[in-house]
Chains A and B, each alone.
Chain A
């Protein structure tokens, strides 16, 4: 089992599902002949042909709308919206048609579509090519949100997403495309988090690129004698609260690290859950997210914008040496 790049893991999942199930089709902007702007989908068009893998115009609403209709009518469309920022143009069909359909139709038919999109910052792409679209989607019942952090998960979760009978938004962090890791033939289960490092002193929860930052922070903390348990959420809707609660009850402290605006994100959602269901176990609970502002371009501004390993470790150490606050957020 050799290590492959995240982008190739995504491509392999698409390739294998296209080969396995002829109801799978794939379309989007510049994804076919050109192989995608992040070189993720190279070769699929050549291998699976222009009927099943095709380029579209710059028409995000048509893309999401066509995905909806074709999914109801028996296909399993996978579509790409190049950057998460462009999702906004696709959201009407996704939210008002796809997300509602199963319920509204009284469960006559579901909408098995996958919408892939490249998200996240840190690449100096500025305010309109760096956003995390999750807060726009989190409050929409009926859409699954999958957010892998490793090549192995990218492949296993994308295969699961394609086989899932519901609309799934599959988010790929731009800063992860070139990382390498092992992949398997496994099809993962959507909605399951995993403990990627065990520890007893504090639970740190994150997703996508944040998981790597948290693992690096855990190393820094270990050198200071603090054992952090790190959880990779892998899916943001539905949230695997069991895994988070079990860990929090063990460590009594939870930090959630979210790349995305602090207000309205999933970090707040997780904190609400632990306060609701594990208050008596909590010595501390807090979050690190990005400021409630657009993503800046200038390197020093962008660097300061994101939580990184050192900031995460400093935050944990700061909170743990401050005495023990009684309730979530009290010491902020």
Chain B
């Protein structure tokens, strides 16, 4: 299998403050890649480089390359809307729009000029997100009436509705209870046959359960990356071992 992303010499600065240092890594297609590391090490920052969310924030500077399917998404002629449309994102805290469940899922297709059957699409995405059975009778109720776990799965369905190639998830389970978390992890495992998934988590067990590959970050640097099982059983770097054994973080 090929690479979805090839990250080369990536540096990110918030104003004067550098948060990512010379990151080089590949992210495999149709696999789950976990990004782990202690809080503040730059996981979210890295994730947001992958769909150019940093463009929305003044004062953020990105240097280096992020090649998506061989193409550097930071090239001048790349349209960030197009990138974000092809690369979906699920945020740390569920952020459904204050609209109906249906309208939340239909949002992406609508703004991207979808002409097919919206009802079918919405149903398919809600099923993929394992939410259909819970909401099929109240599609036009407010999305805010759902529980936190349901809201997060709705956000996943919303991201799926534009049929992205990649789904970026930033600690998607951090605001959820254990049962919702388990459901979400099952979903991730199901989705990886069709999507490239990049999962930021500070929960090593979670990474161990769902990730094919894991990248460990510390203080803005990529310390080690490899197949999850190998890395967990046999870390090459001392810092990785210390982190995995809970010595810090």
- Whether A associates with B in a native complex is no
Query: B-contacting residues of A (Cβ < 8 Å)?
Result: none
Query: A-contacting residues of B (Cβ < 8 Å)?
Result: none
